[in-house]
Amino acid sequence: MGRWEPNARGRLAEAALKLYAEQGFDRTTVTEIAEAAGLTERTFFRHFADKREVLFYGTEMALTMLTHTIAEAPASASPMDAVGAALESFGAFFQEDPERVRRRDAIVSASTELRERELVKLDAFASAMADALRERGTPEPAAGLAAEAGIAAFKVAYAHWVAAEPGKTDRTGEQQLPQLVRKALTELQEILANRAPA
Amino acid sequence: MGRWEPNARGRLAEAALKLYAEQGFDRTTVTEIAEAAGLTERTFFRHFADKREVLFYGTEMALTMLTHTIAEAPASASPMDAVGAALESFGAFFQEDPERVRRRDAIVSASTELRERELVKLDAFASAMADALRERGTPEPAAGLAAEAGIAAFKVAYAHWVAAEPGKTDRTGEQQLPQLVRKALTELQEILANRAPA
DNA sequence: CTCCGTGATGTCAGTGACTGTCATCAGTGT
DNA sequence: ACACTGATGACAGTCACTGACATCACGGAG
């Protein structure tokens, strides 16, 4: 055993999640979180860049998952196929513990600052996917467009999924996030096809 | 004449723009800005909600422009047509003073915090456009999808436009932002059409 | 003409996020 | 034994932002 209690980072993250849920993000100070974890404010900032990041540090993993899926997509897959596949597996990841995701979403949705950070993460996903597409030969602007449009569809699907009744998710499978992502992309395709001819 | 020099707000905004450009957003304090405008820090915060907002307070106008354009679109226009029309006039607005937009973009791009705020504004645009579409009868999820996808296309078009050589913009008209937006939407339509059949 | 309300500003004290710096001290290898 | 490392504590400092109260030209009511 080390000199200190193990897993300081995890304890900080858990304490933060609990306090943000109980009293709101704004009314929680970093000092409170640190004390709840038996540490000091300074140590919190050694583990997380800022007060918000404690809710977003799973992001690097998601990012590598997305780029990896795109890189591994068969050469026959179109850009939008690759993006779709990546976002569907991303959705499947959320589906593993829907209640946890919903709890976290309630916290994030309640705070402007946290929603801001979420948008930054989504934008980072789009950039990473665009890079991954370029790596497999997709030219500009198709790479950027496919990535951004994919994120756009994901945002809509996620909002629908998170707002749905928790019970319905498990039974039919109709409302599973990966399927909702796929539907959103298909619907988007139709919406765009309905543009007025030039 | 009033008791004070007129146009405090404008003076603050100008001083901020100048200082952000000269020394960077992070290395500029609000006190500096206020003093450069002949005012106090407290007054700055009476005019702008925070240090970033001074670069974004034109946004309400843009937002009403977008929703207005969508509301006024002919009933025959598809959702994507309405969104496209709104974003093209939005782009035309940028085109009025390209150099000013580029100066501002250089500042925003150089700061993570400012890029964050820009994403929030774009997200607000998407929400407002989705609301406007719902008002004219577009059902969910088409309204949200059209709005988000429109913003996605705009982001790509804008990035391309802002990176282009300033000189090219004026001559041929090929690289004008509204045209780039339209192209991006058409290209996006093709990208989505190239998805693998289910 | 005088008085009073109003609105934009100044002043000041305070909170809390975040940073730089140095001290501490268990464990680890030599 | 001894130096070295790495995670932490302690502490002072900066700066964004807020609340409370004072000030004072202006415009209108009397």
Q: Which of B50, B182, B185, B188 to mutate: most A Cβ within 10 Å?
A: B188
State the pTM of this model. 0.94
**Gap from B31 CA to chain A (nearest CA, Å):** 23
Going by CATH, does the domain composed of A8-48 fall within 1.10.10.60?
A: yes
Check residue B165 and report its DSSP letter. -
- Three-state SS letters, A70-119: HHHCCCCCCHHHHHHHHHHHHHHHHHCCHHHHHHHHHHHHCCHHHHHHHH
Does residue A61 lie within 7 Å of nucleic acid chain C, judged by its CB? Answer: no
The answer to whether A102 and A188 are in contact (CB under 8 A) is no
- CA of B113: nucleotide with nearest C1': D16
Q: What is the average pLDDT across A135-153?
A: 97
Residue type, A160: H
- The rounded Cα B137 to chain-centroid distance in angstroms is 26
End-to-end Cα distance, chain B: 70
pLDDT of residue B171: 56
Q: Is A189 exposed, middle or buried (0-12, 13-18, 19+ CB in 10 A)?
A: buried
pLDDT of residue B5: 81
Give the pair of three-digit tokens for residue A187: 């619907």
- The rounded Cα B53 to chain-centroid distance in angstroms is 13
pLDDT of residue B165: 66
Fold (CATH) for B8-50: Arc Repressor Mutant, subunit A (1.10.10)
DSSP per-residue letters across chain A: --SS-S-HHHHHHHHHHHHHHHH-STT--HHHHHHHTTS-HHHHHHHSSSTTGGGTTTHHHHHHHHHHHHHHS-TTS-HHHHHHHHHHHHHHHHHTSHHHHHHHHHHHHT-HHHHHHHHHHHHHHHHHHHHHHHHTTPPTTHHHHHHHHHHHHHHHHHHHHHHS-HHHHHHTSTT-HHHHHHHHHHHHHHHHHTSPP-
CATH 1.10.10.60 segments of chain B: 8-50
Q: What is the average pLDDT across B89-95?
A: 95
**Residue A166: pLDDT above 80?**
no
The answer to whether A18 and A36 are in contact (CB under 8 A) is yes
Is A77's Cβ below 8 Å from some Cβ in B? yes
Q: What is the average pLDDT across B55-84?
A: 96
**Residue A171: pLDDT above 70?**
no
pLDDT of residue B21: 98
- Residue of chain B whose alpha carbon sits nearest to that of A81: B195
**Residue A175: pLDDT above 80?**
yes
Q: What is the average pLDDT across A96-102?
A: 94
Candidate from A20-34, A45-59, B109-123, B155-169 with smallest mean pLDDT: B155-169
CATH 1.10.357.10 segments of chain B: 58-193
DSSP per-residue letters across B21-73: HHH-STT--HHHHHHHTTS-HHHHHHHSSSTTGGGTTTHHHHHHHHHHHHHHS
Does residue A40 lie within 7 Å of nucleic acid chain D, judged by its CB? Answer: yes
* A142: chain B residues, CB-CB within 8 Å: 187, 191
Q: What is the average pLDDT across A8-27?
A: 97
Contacts of A145 (CB under 8 A, 6+ apart): B152, B153, B156, B184, B187, B188, B191
Residue type, B60: E
Contacting residues 23-42/A vs strand C (CB within 7 A): 28-31, 41-42
**How far apart (Å, rounded) are the C-alpha atoms in residues B140 and B134?**
8
The per-residue pLDDT for range B153-170, each reduced to its tens digit, is 999 999 999 998 676 555
- The half-sphere exposure of B49 on its side-chain side, counting CA atoms within 13 A, is 5
CATH class of A58-193: mainly alpha
If you search the block for the tokens 């937002």, which residue do you land on? B63
Q: How confident is the model at residue A5 (pLDDT cuts 50, 70, 90)?
A: confident
The answer to whether the CB atoms of B80 and A191 lie below 8 A apart is yes
Q: How does the average pLDDT of chain A come out, rounded?
A: 94
The fraction of chain A above a pLDDT of 90, given in percent, is: 88
Does residue A27 lie within 7 Å of nucleic acid chain D, judged by its CB? Answer: no
Q: How confident is the model at residue B142 (pLDDT cuts 50, 70, 90)?
A: very high
**How far apart (Å, rounded) are the C-alpha atoms in residues B194 and B178?**
25
Scanning B132-151 for CB atoms below 8 A from A yields: 140-142, 144-146, 148-149, 151
**How far apart (Å, rounded) are the C-alpha atoms in residues A177 and A93?**
9
Q: What is the average pLDDT across A63-90?
A: 97
The answer to whether the CB atoms of A145 and B159 lie below 8 A apart is no
Residue type, A26: D
Q: How confident is the model at residue B172 (pLDDT cuts 50, 70, 90)?
A: low
The answer to whether the CB atoms of B194 and A78 lie below 8 A apart is yes
Q: How confident is the model at residue A6 (pLDDT cuts 50, 70, 90)?
A: confident
Q: How does the average pLDDT of chain B come out, rounded?
A: 94
Q: Which helix (H) or strand (E) holds B142?
A: helix B142-163
Q: How confident is the model at residue B175 (pLDDT cuts 50, 70, 90)?
A: confident
CATH 1.10.10.60 segments of chain A: 8-48
